[in-house]
């Protein structure tokens, strides 16, 4: 399971790297899809089924419409590939090398221990139980979504709407 989470975190890092090094909007959207799917699968691997599914549905369901629309508006006849620049290739290879060296160092020292304290988290921390269940903490997430986190949903929706307007304004041109 640890190797799967390492692989998914590597895919998130490579997806973000590909997004930042994109020579064409088509590849940027593809790298965002890879990064988003990998992040959602990593959250699902840690047991956050509600959060992973919500992010998957909202991010990859809603924002892909925006990426598809902006890609269609700024489509190029001959898009530049990810490997068309030596600088892009060098940065990508160096990033892959650094990520793999981090994995080998963590494997050599038999993993790293992180001490986390949840003093003020109360009932939000998912506790381990003896019974097997895939949706154990979903009720707490739904309750938080409709009670104390309602303002966060409004802010998130407003931010996504402003992001759509900004992207449309940038890709519109003159």
Give residue-wise pLDDT tens across range 79-109: 666 666 777 778 778 888 887 887 777 777 7
Q: How far is CA 151 from CA 51, 80, 85, in A?
A: 17, 41, 44
Q: Check residue 129 and give its pLDDT.
A: 52
More confident residue, 51 or 136: 51
Q: Quote the tokens at residue 155.
A: 């802010």
Give residue-wise pLDDT tens across range 131-150: 555 555 556 666 666 777 77
Q: Check residue 154 and give its pLDDT.
A: 81
Q: Check residue 23 and give its pLDDT.
A: 64
pLDDT at 37 over 80: yes
Q: Check residue 113 and give its pLDDT.
A: 52
pLDDT at 43 over 80: yes
């Amino acid at each position: 399971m640890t190797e799967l989470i390492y692989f998914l975190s590597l895919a998130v890092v490579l997806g973000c790297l590909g997004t930042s090094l994109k020579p064409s909007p088509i590849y940027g959207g593809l790298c965002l899809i890879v990064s988003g799917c990998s992040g959602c699968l990593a959250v699902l691997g840690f047991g956050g089924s509600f959060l992973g599914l919500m992010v998957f549905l909202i991010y990859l369901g809603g924002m892909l419409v925006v990426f598809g629309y902006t890609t269609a508006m700024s489509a190029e006849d001959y898009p530049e590939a990810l490997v068309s620049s030596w600088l892009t290739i060098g940065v990508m290879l160096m990033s892959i090398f650094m990520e793999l060296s981090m994995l080998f160092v963590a494997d050599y020292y038999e993993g790293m221990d992180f001490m986390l304290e949840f003093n003020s988290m109360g009932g939000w921390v998912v506790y381990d139980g003896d019974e097997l269940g895939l949706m154990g903490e979903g009720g707490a997430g739904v309750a938080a979504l409709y009670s104390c986190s309602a303002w966060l949903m409004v802010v998130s929706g407003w931010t996504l709407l402003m992001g759509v307007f900004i992207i449309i304004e940038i890709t519109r041109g003159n």
